[in-house]
Structure 1
Amino acid sequence: MKLDVTAGGVYVIAPTPFHPDGRVDDASLDRMTDFFLGEARCDGMTILGVMGEAPKLDGAESLALSRRIIGRAGAAGIIVGVTAPGFAAMRALAQGVMQAGAAGVMIAPPSHLRTDDAVVAYFHQAVEAIGPDIPWVLQDYPQLFQVQMTPAVIRRIVMDLPSCVMLKHEDWPGLEKISTLRRFQAEGSMRPLSILCGNGGIFLDFEMARGADGAMTGYAFPDMLAELVRLSKAGERDRAQDLFDAHLPMIRYELQPGPGLAVRKYVLMRRGIIASDAQRRPGTALTETARAEVEYLLARLARHDARARLQAPAKRSAA
């Protein structure tokens, strides 16, 4: 099924599992897909995003990885990040993954855009390149991409380009942006739009209250995010808040610029979801001190959430 404006829930941002020598770990890829879409009860996955180390994969690897996950996902929606320096590579990957059965693609603006008109023009060109029949997600992440998109600019993009069906909202602070976009929709000046939020889930409790449809982020406990979203939609705000509060120290630690991906991969490895926390070079690894801090946070979280009750980690070789 193609992505549309009714999409909601949790589309977990998936890392790319690697062997320590840098090869893609297909067995971990399969196990991760099964866990995210099965036990974790996520509604879909977003692959080849920032957390997926997409720039470290070549075109053939990106397409092969996408096909493998899409083929294993069944009816769950798979969104593929296709952001690229040029439109030829974007078009090739977008068309390839859609032919394989992807639900849609995600596009972020290049960092050199500085005016509202330039931002809108870029997405017009991107849609012309991939084709107007491919549903896509607008990624709004100014902290990383250095492109500011006001609610009015997002409205222009959404109204000009009907194939834009979802906003990945990662502005910070961004709660008022969600409220403004929902006001546009309520007054009829913007068509309906799915809004899923990122930033590691750090504001997900209030983002849901402001009108978000769910989360699109890579926190290492996506099963918690899925539960929080379900509770929020059911109107059980206090239960959702209690769950969020228990995880907040881990969310905060994982959100650090730089070592954040290393933390996420380490926790996913500790949970048995991927075999190794390796990143493809260039990458970072956790120090012994950082790993001890993560273990401390896991132990504290385990007092409130059984999902964090893990066996003691194996000792690492001195080599």
Structure 2
Amino acid sequence: MVTPFRPDGGVDYDGAARLATYLVDEQRNDGIVVNGTTGESPTTSDAEKDRLLRTVIEAVGDRAVVVAGVGTNDTAHSRALARAAEEAGADGTLIVTPYYNKPPQEGLLHHFSEVADAAVLPAMLYDIPGRSGVPILTETLLKLGEHPRIVAVKDAKGDLFGGSLVMAGTDLAFYSGDDALNLPWLSVGGCGFVSVVGHVVGADLHEMIDAYLAGDRERAQQIHRRLLPVVAAIMTRTQGAIAVKAALNLLGLPGGTVRAPLVDASLEFAARLREDLTIGGVKVPEVTIPEVAR
């Protein structure tokens, strides 16, 4: 989930509660990741993270899983965030690969294990070498799969074969972390999506999963193809948080601004985004672009 910001840069906590409610009750998301990188976690303070997590738990924690992003490029800091997430009542943690540091695989093994040990919560690893600079190699994932609290992987590496090897050799659950590969991940054993486009087409993604698991491959493929313009618009033309916040603003939902060093979507981007959302079946209210773009 994005972190809604007010025009003055502060966190819009009321907006976050409304957005979380919309994502669960109307978009059929079974869970929400709070304080993940789509939530611009590198720019929010620990105090903001804690209040935001508690706000979302209060809003939807009785009917959806709430996972706290606790990953940083500092193991000690990540451990502290994991403990805070447990105290706040989170259902689990999401731990991204440390970014910029480029630790060796042995460093990743120690980092993920130590953060998972910091709280009595199930942990999901986030493998995204395009952002972190380092992949979690198959051999490392096989070792991490032996940790009793590491239960899942959010994959944005796109290695379906490597993921298949890990699923065959461990009990780790794999979630697609790249919306372009949602359907392919289901075909090799993935169990769901940790999605950015789920902000606006979560109900469609839920239907895709239901259709696939029911054996209706044709229906799942139809949904996949219909959503291609939405995925392209949000995931391929600029940074994801920028795009999805622009989409939420178009829909009259609490997206708000982004924090520097990100920049808000241009009017031109918002206009094209409106077209692609409409093609993908998203009902965009009839308002003028200047009213929704920042």
Give how far 1:315 is off.
Answer: 4.5
Distance in 2 (alpha carbons) for counterparts of 1:238 and 1:141:
30
Structure scoring higher RCO (CA < 8 A, sep ≥ 6) equals: 1
Does residue 102 in structure 1 map to residue 90 in structure 2? yes
2:39–2:241 CA contact under 8 A, matched in 1: no
Distance in 2 (alpha carbons) for counterparts of 1:294 and 1:284:
16
**1:299/1:85 CA distance change after superposition, 3 Å:** closer
Does residue 168 in structure 1 map to residue 150 in structure 2? no
Provide the residue aligned with 2:266 in structure 1: 287
Aligned to 1:32, what secondary structure does the other structure show? helix
Aligned to 2:125, what secondary structure does the other structure show? strand
Deviations 1:33-53 (A, max 9, x none): 111111111111011111101
Distance in 2 (alpha carbons) for counterparts of 1:210 and 1:47:
27
Percent identical residues: 24
Aligned to 1:266, what secondary structure does the other structure show? helix
Stretches of structure 2 that go unaligned for 5 or more consecutive residues are none
Provide the residue aligned with 1:311 in structure 2: 285
Distance in 2 (alpha carbons) for counterparts of 1:27 and 1:244:
33
Distance in 2 (alpha carbons) for counterparts of 1:65 and 1:217:
19
Aligned residue type for 1:104? G
Provide the residue aligned with 2:210 in structure 1: 230
Aligned residue type for 2:234? E
Q: How many residues align?
A: 289
**1:91/1:118 CA distance change after superposition, 3 Å:** closer
Give how far 1:145 is off.
Answer: 0.6
Aligned residue type for 1:311? P
2:3–2:16 CA contact under 8 A, matched in 1: yes
Aligned to 1:217, what secondary structure does the other structure show? coil
2:24–2:64 CA contact under 8 A, matched in 1: yes
Distance in 1 (alpha carbons) for counterparts of 2:31 and 2:115:
24
Provide the residue aligned with 1:7 in structure 2: none
Provide the residue aligned with 1:91 in structure 2: 79
**1:81/1:257 CA distance change after superposition, 3 Å:** farther
Aligned ranges 1:6-25 → 2 under 5 Å = 14-25=1-12
Distance in 1 (alpha carbons) for counterparts of 2:289 and 2:246:
14
* Equivalent of 1:254 in 231, 234, 257: 234
1:262–1:277 CA contact under 8 A, matched in 2: no
Distance in 1 (alpha carbons) for counterparts of 2:74 and 2:9:
26
Distance in 2 (alpha carbons) for counterparts of 1:311 and 1:237:
32
2:250–2:274 CA contact under 8 A, matched in 1: no
Superposed CA RMSD: 2.0
Provide the residue aligned with 1:213 in structure 2: 191
Aligned to 1:106, what secondary structure does the other structure show? strand
1:259–1:284 CA contact under 8 A, matched in 2: no
Aligned ranges 1:145-160 → 2 under 5 Å = 145-159=132-146
Does residue 124 in structure 1 map to residue 113 in structure 2? yes
Deviations 1:70-108 (A, max 9, x none): 111114111101112434432332222212221111112
Moved more, 39-48 or 252-261: 252-261
1:20–1:278 CA contact under 8 A, matched in 2: yes
Distance in 1 (alpha carbons) for counterparts of 2:72 and 2:136:
19
